[in-house]
Structure 1
Amino acid sequence: MRIARLLTAVVSAATLLTTTAAAASAEARFHHYVALGDSYTSGPFIPTQRLDPLGCGRSTANYPSVLADKLDVAKFTDVSCAGADTTNMTRPQGVPFNGTNPPQLGALRVDTDLVTLGIGGNDYGVFGSLTSTCPGLRASDPTGSPCEEHFGDAITKAIDNTGPRVEAVLAAIHERSPKARVLVIGYPRIAPDRGYCPDVLPFADGDYAWLNGVEEKLNQTLSDAADADGDAEYVDTFGPSRGHDACARGGSAWINGKDQNVFEAAAYHPLKAGMAGVAAVVLSRLR
């Protein structure tokens, strides 16, 4: 009986140690985290803005920063920059206020063990074309789809051409950081799946569905690139952000509308709440 009790105690202690070690391992799993990406990663105008360089619009409250804090990583390097596209992974990027953001892949090291990549929306000017053109077309056909008619299949073709670029970036990441877990972060939804809010998102009514389709196409392209790579993972934020689009009321929005607020968020870009929401989605994937 005494031996049985002793064995039970030993097994219980071993189980506790294993569980504790596993928990500690999960919390301290990543030692060097590098964040790569564009403005949907950097967080322009979200307080507090970093100055290295200021023109990148890199916030201390963007999703990489929140994620790094939650994971308690030993070293965190955020080189995301507003306006970046896939070419700025390997080339320097000029930014406002006479600054330069070095090639983002230069931040990777052999011992980097976590990388998040949020890129693709700026390639071939897709995101900028939509936000600069579509609102101005609403007046011509408020209930129609003037923006879709204006662009035709040009946006779709541009996104198709973005896929191979993202695949090339992923290959370069693995080459520099062969042991890193690499996550491709999708874009959260801008427009609601139903209803309209022209005072916030001044697209024509019919262009709301088209805008969602464009985002879904872009996110599917990113997912396909991760699948083709084989060693990267795609993280969907479009689905989890349903009900948190620019039209969401009561503080539920993850995305800012048309009005730029230099103390809150850039127009058509994530709010602080959106960054926290994306960070939670990514954290759930990691854990």
Structure 2
Amino acid sequence: MLAYRPTVLAAAATVLALVAFPGSSGATIGKSPKHYVALGDSYTSGPVIPVQRIDPIGCERSTNNYPALLARTLHIRDYTDVSCSGAKTVNMTAPQVVPLLGVNPPQFDALRPDTDLVTLTISGDDIGFTEIIFTCARLSVTDPFGNPCRREATAGGGDFYAQRIAAAAPKVARVLAGIHERSPRATVLLVGYLRILPPAVGCYPVFPAARGDVPYLDGLEQQLNTMLADQAFSHGAAFVDSYQGSLGHDVCKLPGQKWVEGTAPTSPAAPVHPNAIGMQQVAAFARETLANLDEAKAVG
């Protein structure tokens, strides 16, 4: 995924009460949601994190991903998780063929008129997250101290990875509109991606990126999260800022400190994906956002 502009998520900051920030604990949830639907990609589903569901097995849904943890924390009895590894925005309305002869139905099929909470993490696969990782890893072999990935991405004068992020924005907007259309009473949380890399100095080969590409890739992830925050602000959703909250917990940290695994995981999780601790933290950020929303409603 992958740049944080100095204007820290300006759109999200405009609606401070709607965003979860670490250290703002103490707020409580008022009325617990009655029907919760979790949508999204592998940063929602939690591949490899025990225990893996089999409905279908190719979606790699964990019973301990952030939606499951949030549902348990809020004591939500009517809870549906349709997230799936590899899901793109198109898979909200179209079925997704997954490994082992499985098919995940359109994720929007789970939405109902009485759904009152929806969480969503999406667009990493729209921008080709896996391709970016492997491309940058391949280029780092011949230029480990330079910035070959950035040079290739900007060779044409622009930045084609940044352009992919911009192209994903209207797709995310359509997804949010579709949620509101199908579940008009729902509180919608658009959940950002956990920080993958530190701001400057990497940890080759834990994450195989050339030295000069570490800040570039981190910058791309910031751009992605900024885009999501902008879309949340513009389309009636609250943004959960997992990126800012995970500073100091990137892939370069020790086991027990990192919330996202490197290319060779040291705990049960997919490479370059959240581990169990990361999922716990995202669930906490989402819960904090809901608490802030309740407080804002009470004040307003």
TM-score (normalised: structure 2): 0.84
- The equivalent of 1:145 in structure 2 is 147
Counterpart residue number, 2:177? 171
Structure 2 Cα separation of the partners of residues 195 and 147 of structure 1: 16
1:72-87 to 2 correspondence within 5 Å? 72-87=75-90
1:272: Cα distance to partner?
0.6
User: Secondary structure, in 3 states, of the residue corresponding to 1:279?
Assistant: helix
| 8 Å contact kept, 1:28–1:72 | no
Percent of residue pairs identical: 50
SS at match of 1:281: helix
Which of the residues 242, 248, 271 maps onto 2:247?
A: 242
Gaps of 5+ in 2: 1-27, 292-300
- 2:10 alignment counterpart: none
SS at 1:133 equivalent: helix
Aligned partners of 1:279, 1:227: CA distance in 2, in Å?
A: 20
Distance 2:258 2:91 in 1: 29
After superposition, give the CA deviation of every residue in 1:228-257 in whole Å (9 maximum; x if it has no partner): 21x211111100000110001251000010
- The CA distance in 2 between the partners of 1:46 and 1:280, in whole Å, is 17
CA contact (8 A) 2:29 2:290 kept: no
The whole-number CA distance in structure 2 between the counterparts of 1:224 and 1:124 is 17
State the 1:27 CA deviation: 5.5
Cα displacement string for residues 38-97 of structure 1 (whole angstroms, at most 9, x for unaligned residues): 000000000100000000010001000000000001211000000001000000000000
Cα distance in 1 between the residues matched to 2:190 and 2:233: 10
Question: Could you tell me which residue of structure 1 aligns to residue 61 of structure 2?
Answer: 58
Q: Compared with structure 1, are the counterparts of its residues 227 and 114 closer, same or farther at alpha carbon in structure 2 (3 Å cutoff)?
A: same
Write the distance in 2 (CA, Å) between the matches of 1:145 and 1:173: 40
The Cα shift of 1:260 comes to 5.2
Q: Is the 8 A contact 1:28 1:71 kept in 2?
A: no
Q: Is the 8 A contact 2:89 2:172 kept in 1?
A: yes
1:49 aligns with 2:49: no
Structure 1 outlier segments of 4+, above 3 Å:
25-28
Q: Return the structure number with greater helix share.
A: 1
Q: Give the unaligned 5+ runs of structure 1.
A: 1-24
Aligned to 1:253: 258
- After superposition, residues 212-227 of structure 1 pair within 5 angstroms as 212-227=218-233
Partner amino acid, structure 2, of 1:50: R
Number of residue-to-residue matches in the alignment:
260
Q: What does residue 283 of structure 2 align with?
A: 279
The TM-score normalised by the length of structure 1 is: 0.88
Local SS of the residue matching 1:55 = helix
| Structure 2: distance between partners of 1:140 and 1:26 | 52
Q: Which has the larger radius of gyration?
A: 1
Distance in 2, matches of 1:45 and 1:27, equals 33
